[in-house]
Chains A and B, each alone.
Chain A
Amino acid sequence: MTSLRSRPAVPQALVVGVLLALFCAYVGGRSGDFWTAANWQLLVQPMAEAGLVALGLTLVLASGGIDLSVGSIVGLSAVAAAWAAQRHGSTAGVVGVALLCGSLCGAGNGVLIGGLGLSPILVTLGTMIFFGGLAVAVSAGASFAGFPDGLLRLSDAAWLGVPAACLIFLALAIAGFLVARYSLWGRYLLHQGQSAVAARFSAMPVRSSLIAVYTAQGLLCGLASLLMVARLASARADMGQTLLLTAIAGVVLGGTSVTGGVASVPGTVIGIATFYVVGNGLTLLGVPAFVQTAVVAGLLLIAVGLANLLRPGKVAA
């Protein structure tokens, strides 16, 4: 029996979301500590940091690019914040310096990629090493702890029990969703990702939209570094190092295409949440850490495989 109307595609984010909900139900059933406010308040803070980086990466990947330097920009912005804290001591100054540093790093990437038309993977591989090296050189590898109280209070601030970091992330996720779906800039980026040649010949402002997207990525990294500095009450050159792979994996898990042209901001939110919730749940269940990495990787493969299986028009062998 066949029907003429083809079934709509099942978004990968939905598959991941269902798996995540099942996982939460399971962990909640086995550990009484999982569904507690304290657990979730702690869990969403590092998630928000990786989430901000992943939001930027969603747009960057959709434009057919990649930014490998995100972890190094986070580290360098944190070091810049420490530098400012050592001199001014004012919260606004520290915040400004970190955001400025992140944006400048991102703009540097953008000019090289959008302006000069160099390969994103090569440029950001270079700047990853450059920004990372600069951060280690400036900080001499030391960890700095003397941040102003105003900044540190950010990690305890909450509205209706939801930590400020999480609210910032959700607000920017909504903004990112609107940009990707409704703005002209979002259109340009998606078209650029689908076909760079067609975008160029259709007189789209390819250069400026690419410079803008890498600058936005840098700004988001600067913001992530501030949330991290507030949460850890310290800054260190290597503090963003683990964010790159988590953020890319979260974006891809959410259904954004690695080859460009497709962006799913809600998918990214679900994808990033998956990594942190699963990690937290498995720790509460006492699952050894090395098994955890395997479980998370397995989840990624299952989600991608299932979404592929449920896609109409795809024939499963």
Chain B
Amino acid sequence: MTRRETGARQGRLAVLGLLVCLLVPGCRRLPRNSAHLVVLVPKLLGIPYFNAARDGAQRAAQQLGLQLLYTGPTAADAGLQVEVLDSLLALHPGVLAVSCDDPNAVTPVLRRARRYGIHVLTWDSNAQPGVAEWFVNQVDPEALGRHVMDVLAAEMGGHGKFAIITGSLTASNLNQWLGWMKRERAERFPQMELVTVVAGNDDQQLAFVEAQQLLQAYPDLGGIIGNSSAAVPAAARAVQQAGKAGRVAVTGLSTPDLMRRYIQDGTVKTVTLWDPGKLGALTLQVAAQVMRGETPTDGMNVPDVGPVQVIAASHTIIIGPPLDFTRANIDRYHF
């Protein structure tokens, strides 16, 4: 037998082996058209923020006796998210709950889902108004944007130059908060000057480089707002390395886990967010309600979440006011 034939035989064996590997587990069929299936789709998988939301949703699903499928795109990309949603429609879940990467791009697929008789919720980041039955929102964007600006202004004494590091320039919720920060500055803090807005693309390394460049380019910079969870720790690290802790105020929207060391060593005094675990839990509770055909009511007390604000006109449910993490309370939160 020649070596060539040996090679060919190995090849055929490999094909046969693959065939067996593929067909053996093929006996068990998946359940179809599960009315108790809730699909929860984040903007992207694998970041602590959405992981915390998933954990909250999982606990709620267990209590409610619902089956939860948590899946989504592996990168924050609207096209990828729509592809995942397209595939999920074939599962006919009872409820499809989506944190929309781009409100316009997901709208056609969500409309289609409703035509197929699937209940559609949005959470964390909305689609176009009127597409979802309910939008489960963390906090009012206006309250949040204004609050972050107020925190920075208080730390800077109401005057001086500051910069904003945002996530991606195309994220709708970030741009909304950014708009309210700018408006709050224009209305209440005329002596503060926003020198620039740069994008860190939700990447801590990139945001760190951007923060270093900001400190170089504006030696008299008095403060930095991080408008994405990766941007605040990156800014804090850059300020600390430049030896400017205490002279450059850092604040913004980030998670306790990412900010713990900077809060504890005093580089950062306050960082703001909400509890994504509650967001996930509330989404599941609302999902259970819409499947039962009930309408959420303003002030209803939700298990593990508390009383929530329901705005019937805009079909929005809001968890509550923004949550500030400081040295006093940060040890109580882990996400």
**Interface positions of A (Cβ within 8 A of B):** 1-2, 7, 18-19, 22-23, 25-26, 29-34, 36, 38-39, 42-43, 45-46, 136, 140-145, 155, 228, 231-234, 236-243, 276, 279-280, 283-286, 288-290, 292-293, 302, 306, 309-310, 312-316
Q: B69 and A141: CB pair below 8 A?
A: no
Interface core residue of A19, A22, A143, A315 (most chain B CB under 10 Å): A143
The smallest C-beta distance from B188 to any residue of chain A, in angstroms, reads: 25
A232 partner, pick from B5, B15, B90, B108, beta carbons under 8 A = B108
- From the candidates A23, A26, A38, A136, name the one contacting B90 in the complex (CB within 8 A): A38
Q: How many residues of B contact A (CB 8 A)?
A: 59
Q: Which of B57-65, B79-87, B239-247 contacts A (4 or more CB under 8 A)?
A: B79-87
Identify the B interface with A (CB < 8 A): 1-8, 10-11, 14-15, 18-19, 22-23, 25-30, 32, 45-46, 69, 71-75, 77-80, 82-84, 86-92, 102-108, 116, 128, 168-170, 172, 175
Contacts of B5 in A (CB 8 A): 1-2
The answer to whether B7 and A29 have CB atoms under 8 Å apart is: no
Contact A228-B79, Cβ < 8 Å, known A26-B23, A283-B71: yes
| A309-B79 in contact (CB<8A) | no
How many angstroms between the C-alpha atoms of A292 and B89 in the bound complex?
Answer: 18
Within the complex, what minimum Cβ distance (angstroms) separates B209 from chain A? 17
Which residues of chain B are within 8 angstroms of A39 by Cβ–Cβ distance?
Answer: 87, 89-90
Chain A residues near B7 (CB, 8 Å)? 309, 314-316
Q: How far is the CB of A244 from chain B (nearest CB, A)?
A: 12
Contact B79 A232 (CB under 8 A): yes
CA distance A22 to B18 in the complex (A): 9
Q: Are A232 and B87 in contact (CB under 8 A)?
A: no
Give min CB distance, B102 to chain A, whole Å.
Answer: 5
Contact A288 B71 (CB under 8 A): yes
CB-based nearest B residue for A316: B7
* A115 to B251 alpha-carbon distance, docked (Å): 52
Taken together as a complex, chains A and B put the C-alpha atoms of A228 and B108 apart, in Å, by 12
CB contacts (< 8 Å) of B1 on chain A: these are 1
Q: How far is the CB of A309 from chain B (nearest CB, A)?
A: 4
Contact A29 B105 (CB under 8 A): no
- Nearest B residue to A155, CB-CB: B108
In angstroms, how far is the closest chain A Cβ from the Cβ of B19? 6
* Cα distance A46–B28 in the bound complex, in angstroms: 30
Q: Which residue of B lies closest to A42 (CB)?
A: B86
B69 A286 Cβ-Cβ under 8 A? yes
Contact B170 A312 (CB under 8 A): no
* Contacting residues, chain B, for A316 (C-beta < 8 A): 3, 6-7, 10-11
Closest to B70 in A: A288
B residues less than 8 Å from A46 (CB atoms): 79, 82-83, 86
With contacts A22-B22, A26-B22, A242-B79 taken as known, whether A7 is within 8 angstroms of B84 at the C-beta atoms is no
Q: How far is the CA of A286 from the CA of B34 in the complex (A)?
A: 13
Are B71 and A141 within 8 A (Cβ)?
no
Is A302 a contact of B18 with CB atoms below 8 Å? yes
Q: Which residues in B have their C-beta under 8 angstroms from that of A312? A: 4, 8
Given A22-B19, A289-B74, A144 and B82 contact (CB-CB distance below 8 Å): no
With CB as the reference atom, state the residue of chain B lying closest to A34: B90
Quick one: which of B2, B22, B170 contacts A236, CB cutoff 8 A? Answer: B170
The interface residues of chain A lying within 8 Å CB-to-CB of B92 are: 33
Q: Is the CB of B87 within 8 A of A31?
A: no
Identify the closest chain A residue to B77 (Cβ). A242
Question: Which of A25, A238, A288 has the most B CB atoms < 10 Å from its CB?
Answer: A238
Given contacts A33-B90, A33-B91, contact A143 B103 (CB under 8 A): yes
Q: Is the CB of A239 within 8 A of B90?
A: no
